[in-house]
Structure 1
Amino acid sequence: MRKYTALFFFIMFMIGTDTFLISPLLPTLQTQFGVSTGIAGWMIGAYTLGSAVFALIAGPLSDGWNRRTVLLSGLLGFSVSTILCGFADSFWTMCLFRLLAGISAAFTAPQVWASIPAVMPATSVPKTMGIAFSGLAASQALGVPIGSWLATAHWSVPFWTIGAASLLLAAVAFHSLPHMKPGANKGGRTTILLRYVPLVTSGKAMSGFIAYLLLHLGSGTAFAFAGKWMFDRFGIPIGQIGMVMMFLGFGSLLGSTVSAYSARKLGHVRAVAAGMALLMALYAIMPNLSSLSAVTIVYLIIFATLGIIFPIVMGALTSLNASIRGTISSLANSTMNGANTLGAWIAGLLYVQFGGYSSIGIFSTVCLALSLGTFLFGGVFERKGMRTDQESASAS
């Protein structure tokens, strides 16, 4: 079972590194392709757009197919399209290859979350979820700095390295992962839209995704203008802001590592409730802090707490219906991207029009409070429902 855990960790590490890589390379690529600052952002947007839109299609399709085949196809496409990014000779070809990489990631990342309950014992699912999520955290803390260091040789080297490593992971997955075919009564003839019906008609599922949207909206809004606020408040250079952000990645990595332990000791409900209550308090006091050291420590605690919460929440969501885990995972991915996109827009509006970062802190606190209430009253973490789904997974 350890080989699966390691495989899922490294897949998420590669996808996370590729996702965040463009940001530090943006000035170099902007100069390379001779485009304006406003247009250059499309090299980031192309990836997230492809990932968010196609995740809604990839999930339902994967629930009617062999998950192993879907994951391998997505990972192979991801590696090839990322390698092609290193050969891009114009702005638009780079956008095209980034779009293809995002589409491929949409077929890959959700399969990791959906495959964990299928290949791991029920008792190991929370721990494996946390380790897989820590792959994303590690990519922010380690992958992006490593990618930036590789770019000192040439801007294309990070893309070739990530693509080649992902190709190697595809080979490992081919030889190690078992087939994960849908059950006989869950064949692939069901249309994409019909696979969303169990979620739309379930009050628990609707509550879960609304709460998940609010959770990411609150955290995404707070994070979107964190760098801008630190620059305005403390006058630190961009390089130092980047170092702070890298430090936050370690907080997320720490939190995801102890997520399973926290859930086991406190229980799912208490762990999430305590974590979100702590986040509400920290988001409220953050704008009033007067030293960069205090801000860094508080953000470290915030990211560690989020690292604890997210794997527990994802485990609860994928346990809602064992037969459509791919659909659930993909919808969660699209929800996250949509919330972060909306959060960035709201953060800009609040920062400029309504008193700077203080209004952002208030907004994030309200979102977290609404999210927690929706989680609790929607019954998403009811142990009976989760146990039934785990038993269904074992039976399949």
Structure 2
Amino acid sequence: MDKRIFWLALGSFAIGTEGFMIGGLLPTLAAALHVSTALAGQLVTAFSLVYAVTSPLLTTLTGRMERRTLLFGSLLLLAVGNVVCGFASSYGWMLTGRIVAALGAGLFSPGAVAAASTLAAPEKRGRAVSIVVAGQTVSLILGVPFGTWVALTFDWRMTFWIVGGVTLLAALAIQLQFPRVAPAGAVGMRERLSYLKQPELLSALLTTLAWATGIFSLFTYVSELFAGYGAGGRMISVVLCLTGIASFIGVRTGGIAADRIGPNRTVPLALIMLTASLFLLSALNGFAGRPGILVLAVSAMALYGFSGYMFNPAQQHRLIGLSGPSSGIVLSLQSSVLYVGSALGASAGGAVVRFATAGEIGYFAGAMTAMSLVLFAVSLRLERREAHSGHSPAADDSGASG
């Protein structure tokens, strides 16, 4: 395996930390910027929405740009965004920094996967891509709780500066150690969006949208939720770390289960467990302060991490089966839909915090993942109908996998 691929994974790690760490910093940021917790949560909405909208656009516009230069420039943008956030003295400047960071992240992620495929030997390309993608998963285990700990122990600004420094290190390593990587060519927006005309693919992507809205509505306000259980800042760091570990196990389990029992069985299993954990997190909130309730809540949060991220590899496996040779384009749509869900989740979660309480977020999130389960059932029915009519791009493989 080409060791240079790990620099791409470091870039993905920085993006994951930047995107997810706001959940642990939310009360601190709200107080420092003199805004409500709900408004501070919209920093997640801004990052996710800009990423979702601009990533396919910028990827199309830069399709003929040399990859090393593109990767270096995109990470510089991400680093600048984090530095701006670290020096921000107002909500407006913080929002500006998040938007700049999202532009860089949206450019880097698809380019990094393409570069990893180019650098690796043909028989090792799958492993190379998984290493790059694993960078964001590792950020849940290490980056997010570490960022929360740094903010509580030193200063919240240092968290952004550290992420900026890690990003700059990855950018310089890529510029100095990578060869020039030829562009793969651009795929037009019309061609990308044409896949949404296929009902089985559209319903599958809507399944992802509802799932992402649910998990991110809760994760964005996880600090507020566990504050209601009486957890302090350092305990919340522990909760985030345990959730990250459970998420990593969930990703591995989801991939293995998708191979062994098929994605059409793995996806509903993950969504059922996820929905149960989300409802439980809000139900337990009514008993906060009683002996053992915090332990049960942490256990429910671990189940949330496990089942929430068990869904993702199985869903990607299913989308590859549905889309056949066009899987690269469909997976890029999946990435954009995921970030749209993150934006919707952060926005809707903020509304729950503002008009109800943080303790009720689990009910909203659980309703969204239950909707995801319904949409999956619709998509599965459409898939089987297409398989019987012989129109599915990978009808035989997809039908056999479930």
Corresponding residue of 1:392? none
Q: Provide, for residues 37-83 of structure 1, a one-character-per-residue CA deviation record: whole Å limited to 9, x for no partner.
A: 66655655543343233124124335555555433331232123323
For structure 1, the residue ranges without an aligned partner over 5 or more in a row are 390-396
**Per the alignment, do residues 92 and 344 of structure 1 end up closer, same or farther by CA in structure 2, a change over 3 Å counting?**
closer
Q: Please state how far the C-alpha of 1:362 moved relative to its aligned partner.
A: 5.3
Q: Please state how far the C-alpha of 1:304 moved relative to its aligned partner.
A: 1.6
Q: Please state how far the C-alpha of 1:215 moved relative to its aligned partner.
A: 2.2
Q: Provide, for residues 197-219 of structure 1, a one-character-per-residue CA deviation record: whole Å limited to 9, x for no partner.
A: 43233334323312211222333
AA partner of residue 219 (structure 1): I
- Partner Cα distance (2:139, 2:332) in 1: 20
Task: Single out whichever of 364-373 and 59-68 deviates more from structure 2.
Answer: 59-68
AA partner of residue 167 (structure 2): S
AA partner of residue 367 (structure 2): F
Q: Provide, for residues 255-288 of structure 1, a one-character-per-residue CA deviation record: whole Å limited to 9, x for no partner.
A: 2244433333333333334323433444455554
Corresponding residue of 2:172? 171
Match of 1:343 among 345, 363, 377: 345
Q: Provide, for residues 301-360 of structure 1, a one-character-per-residue CA deviation record: whole Å limited to 9, x for no partner.
A: 2312232321332355467365683x545533332232233334545459839x946743
Corresponding residue of 2:158? 157
- Partner Cα distance (1:12, 1:297) in 2: 28
Q: TM-score with structure 1 length normalisation?
A: 0.76
- Partner Cα distance (1:362, 1:37) in 2: 21
**Kept after mapping to 1: 8 A contact 2:14/2:139:** yes
**Kept after mapping to 1: 8 A contact 2:2/2:119:** no
3-state SS in 2 of match to 1:179: coil
Corresponding residue of 1:206? 202
Corresponding residue of 1:140? 140
* Matches for 1:66-215 after TM superposition, within 5 Å: 66-88=66-88, 90-113=90-113, 131-151=131-151, 152-174=153-175, 175-176=177-178, 179-182=181-184, 187-188=185-186, 192-215=188-211
Q: Please state how far the C-alpha of 1:26 moved relative to its aligned partner.
A: 5.2
Q: Please state how far the C-alpha of 1:121 moved relative to its aligned partner.
A: 6.9
**Per the alignment, do residues 99 and 282 of structure 1 end up closer, same or farther by CA in structure 2, a change over 3 Å counting?**
closer
Corresponding residue of 2:356? 352
3-state SS in 1 of match to 2:72: helix
Q: Provide, for residues 83-121 of structure 1, a one-character-per-residue CA deviation record: whole Å limited to 9, x for no partner.
A: 344344554333322211111111112334555666657
**Per the alignment, do residues 65 and 309 of structure 1 end up closer, same or farther by CA in structure 2, a change over 3 Å counting?**
farther
- Partner Cα distance (1:261, 1:40) in 2: 38
Q: Provide, for residues 152-181 of structure 1, a one-character-per-residue CA deviation record: whole Å limited to 9, x for no partner.
A: 455443333322322222233343477253
**Per the alignment, do residues 44 and 282 of structure 1 end up closer, same or farther by CA in structure 2, a change over 3 Å counting?**
closer
Q: Please state how far the C-alpha of 1:242 moved relative to its aligned partner.
A: 4.2
Task: Single out whichever of 193-202 and 247-256 deviates more from structure 2.
Answer: 193-202
**Kept after mapping to 2: 8 A contact 1:218/1:367:** no
Task: Single out whichever of 92-101 and 35-44 deviates more from structure 2.
Answer: 35-44
**Per the alignment, do residues 296 and 86 of structure 1 end up closer, same or farther by CA in structure 2, a change over 3 Å counting?**
closer
1:17 aligns with 2:17: yes
**Kept after mapping to 2: 8 A contact 1:216/1:339:** yes
**Per the alignment, do residues 374 and 128 of structure 1 end up closer, same or farther by CA in structure 2, a change over 3 Å counting?**
farther
Match of 1:300 among 299, 302, 308: 302
3-state SS in 1 of match to 2:181: coil
**Per the alignment, do residues 41 and 147 of structure 1 end up closer, same or farther by CA in structure 2, a change over 3 Å counting?**
same
Q: Provide, for residues 11-51 of structure 1, a one-character-per-residue CA deviation record: whole Å limited to 9, x for no partner.
A: 22111112234454555555666666666556555433432
3-state SS in 2 of match to 1:338: helix
3-state SS in 2 of match to 1:379: helix
Corresponding residue of 1:244? 239
- Partner Cα distance (1:341, 1:76) in 2: 24
Question: What percent of counterpart residues are identical?
Answer: 24
Aligned residues: CA RMSD: 4.1
3-state SS in 2 of match to 1:52: helix
**Kept after mapping to 2: 8 A contact 1:137/1:250:** no
Q: Provide, for residues 203-245 of structure 1, a one-character-per-residue CA deviation record: whole Å limited to 9, x for no partner.
A: 343233122112223333454565545444x444455344323
**Per the alignment, do residues 279 and 28 of structure 1 end up closer, same or farther by CA in structure 2, a change over 3 Å counting?**
closer
3-state SS in 2 of match to 1:3: coil
**Per the alignment, do residues 146 and 267 of structure 1 end up closer, same or farther by CA in structure 2, a change over 3 Å counting?**
same
**Per the alignment, do residues 67 and 219 of structure 1 end up closer, same or farther by CA in structure 2, a change over 3 Å counting?**
same
Say how many residue pairs are matched.
Answer: 380
- Partner Cα distance (1:155, 1:68) in 2: 32
For structure 2, the residue ranges without an aligned partner over 5 or more in a row are 288-292
Q: TM-score with structure 2 length normalisation?
A: 0.75
3-state SS in 2 of match to 1:86: helix
3-state SS in 1 of match to 2:3: helix
Corresponding residue of 2:47? 47
AA partner of residue 363 (structure 1): A
Match of 1:373 among 373, 377, 391: 377
